[in-house]
Structure 1
Amino acid sequence: MVKVTSLSGQQRLAQLARSQFGTAELNNASDSKTVGVTQGDFAAKHQSLSARSGATVSTSLTLTQRAERRIQMQRERQQYNLESIMALAMEYCTEQVANQDVDPDWFQQFCELVLEISNKNMQQLWAKILAGEIAAPGKFSLKTLHSLKRMSYKEALALQQAANLSFKTRQDPTPRIYFGYIRKPSLWRVLTGKNRAVLNLNQYGLSYPQILSLMDIGLLHNSEIESGSLPSGQILNWQYQQTSINGTINSKDVVLQYYKYTACGAELLPLLTTQPNLAYVLALKQLLAGIVLFGQ
């Protein structure tokens, strides 16, 4: 593999574009042929979707000609999607890039996977991935690309909500979402119901169906995770976005509960712009107040 050391991120992207579809011109496409329709006009929407699919019935064309027309429209739409993502990636490219080139097999699969990505918000995610891969080849695995391919815009919104609630720890940088704890049961705790506590994440923007959908596409592990028994005196070093949160376990045999991101989910998370959810952080601290002494 030939290494190029003097190219900027945008120049390297232009090289990749030229190798893929024979041009280095990456202008945002503005010739979309989607027909606008009035909301609630079923017939007009049906006609618009039929036109976009190439399935419009025309008495002047034979069945074979209509099939050829549909295939041609599909190819044009795929090319439009590919070039749109390439153009967006230009905006995210940095001047500082690694000496190593993007793996050609990775890039080929990337191009194939984005052909059907028409949603503008999803195109931005794919563009950020390409720009990130150019800056640091090997940053995004093929497994992550295939997970993102399965993601709908609705699931992307769920990932955004999850990102807003995510912590990292000094011991394990893989993000996680804390929601409860368990203490070793005793007669008093069983009678008083104080041996466990759970936070309702739905109150802070992340519903249980959203959690299940992120599990289904492989961005969260398929079950709740337990930390294992933490002894009294155990130090907690958490990072919540730009804020460090430190605490000390002050109860015996404590087990923290959380949802943990998979490797694919952890790769995608930095692409999102997170917003601090201070109500969630405050509620989590209040929930854990009986077992964790938080620093000021």
Structure 2
Amino acid sequence: MTKIHSLSGQQRLLQLARNQFGSGVMPADNATASNTNQQQGHFADKHQQLAARSGAASGQAGLTLAQRAERRLQMQRERQQHNLERVMTLALEYCPEHVSAQDIDPDWFQQFCELILDISNHSMQQLWAKILAGEIATPGKFSLKTLHTLKRMSYKEAMALQQAANLSCRPRQDPTARIYFGYIHRPSLWRVLTGRNRAVLNLSQFGLSYTQILSLVDIGLLHSSEIESGELPAGHQINWQYQQLSVNGSITSKNVVLQYYKYTASGAELLPLLSTQPNQQYLDALKLLLADVINFA
């Protein structure tokens, strides 16, 4: 593939589209929206709509079984082509002006195209479009493992990832995001007697249920076990970046262990694609929970 170093992000995407399926990408204004609201109807109406989409609608009595099968396959190919072109069109909206001079890996792009053929949900298409735009800007940014993980993700799981993202922060010294939820004081006789050796935050109060956490673990976006920081000494400085907010403090006693959920490599790659909003109630509750062991500035 010939490299053209002066291409913008959108020009690079249009070139990829022409090479992949022989035509350009429709302008966003002319593209058919895939998230059209459907009117509520009776069960029979919805059943007929689904049957029509599957290619098994009634009214084909004059066709042979082979002809009906061919019609279904043709409808499937058209739907897949529509999905492919829709993601390409959406990617134009996210392409930066300046991109790497390095070309996108053709094998990566081929697998990307195969994986999006059956993605019809508009929100999921947007995620795939952002991935393509990010890969054009910085080839190698998204691994094939991450693509296959996203392929397995349902819209419900994508919403769980969004909720998790809203509660995620990054320590300044570690770029991997995490979700803090509690602490442990390594046992001492006094703490065993008083019972004040552990505190845990219920994340479901802030939109992230334990069921959602398990689903993110199951598809490989969160590590399967809760992570512990290791014992932090008294005076250890805490510097977290929570969305646009800086959270600073210092450990006030020895033998403190912070607990959190940590993203896998695939989860860390997908997280920046989401638009997040800080949850002030979560931040306030976390600070209150940790007030016994951390003095926040």
Same fold (TM over 0.5): yes
Q: Which one-letter code corresponds to 1:278 in the other structure?
A: Q
Indicate which of 95, 98, 117 corresponds to 2:97. 95
The Cα shift of 1:93 comes to 0.9
| Corresponding position of 1:55 | 56
The Cα shift of 1:27 comes to 3.3
Deviation digits for residues 44-72 of structure 1 (CA, Å, limit 9, x no counterpart): 11111011000124211000000000000
Q: Is the 8 A contact 2:34 2:122 kept in 1?
A: no
Q: Is the 8 A contact 1:34 1:48 kept in 2?
A: no
User: Alpha carbons of 1:36 and 1:45: their partners in 2 closer, same or farther (altered >3 Å)?
Assistant: farther
User: Alpha carbons of 1:166 and 1:64: their partners in 2 closer, same or farther (altered >3 Å)?
Assistant: same
Q: Which one-letter code corresponds to 2:131 in the other structure?
A: I
Q: Is the 8 A contact 1:102 1:133 kept in 2?
A: yes
Q: Is the 8 A contact 2:35 2:121 kept in 1?
A: no
The Cα shift of 1:3 comes to 2.7
Secondary structure at the counterpart of residue 272 of structure 2: helix
| Corresponding position of 1:26 | 26
Indicate which of 96, 108, 111 corresponds to 2:110. 108
In 1, Cα distance between equivalents of 2:155 and 2:17: 26
In 2, Cα distance between equivalents of 1:38 and 1:165: 35
Cα RMSD of the aligned pairs, angstroms, is 1.7
1:216 aligns with 2:197: no
TM-score for the superposition, normalised by structure 2: 0.95
In 1, Cα distance between equivalents of 2:13 and 2:190: 64
Q: Is the 8 A contact 1:230 1:252 kept in 2?
A: yes
User: Alpha carbons of 1:233 and 1:204: their partners in 2 closer, same or farther (altered >3 Å)?
Assistant: same
Give percent identity, aligned residues only: 72
In 2, Cα distance between equivalents of 1:20 and 1:11: 14
User: Alpha carbons of 1:4 and 1:211: their partners in 2 closer, same or farther (altered >3 Å)?
Assistant: same
User: Alpha carbons of 1:223 and 1:18: their partners in 2 closer, same or farther (altered >3 Å)?
Assistant: same
Q: Which one-letter code corresponds to 1:77 in the other structure?
A: R
The Cα shift of 1:38 comes to 4.6
Deviation digits for residues 217-236 of structure 1 (CA, Å, limit 9, x no counterpart): 11100111011111111111
User: Alpha carbons of 1:30 and 1:43: their partners in 2 closer, same or farther (altered >3 Å)?
Assistant: farther
User: Alpha carbons of 1:34 and 1:218: their partners in 2 closer, same or farther (altered >3 Å)?
Assistant: closer
Deviation digits for residues 121-149 of structure 1 (CA, Å, limit 9, x no counterpart): 11011001111111111111111111111
Q: Is the 8 A contact 1:168 1:174 kept in 2?
A: yes
The Cα shift of 1:31 comes to 5.3
Q: Which ranges of structure 1 fall in alignment gaps of 5 or more residues?
A: none
TM-score for the superposition, normalised by structure 1: 0.96
Q: Is the 8 A contact 1:34 1:52 kept in 2?
A: no
Q: Is the 8 A contact 1:101 1:137 kept in 2?
A: yes
Q: Which ranges of structure 2 fall in alignment gaps of 5 or more residues?
A: none
Q: Is the 8 A contact 2:25 2:85 kept in 1?
A: no
User: Alpha carbons of 1:37 and 1:11: their partners in 2 closer, same or farther (altered >3 Å)?
Assistant: closer
In 1, Cα distance between equivalents of 2:209 and 2:111: 33
Indicate which of 118, 121, 126 corresponds to 2:120. 118
Deviation digits for residues 135-186 of structure 1 (CA, Å, limit 9, x no counterpart): 1111111111111111111111111110110010122110000000000112
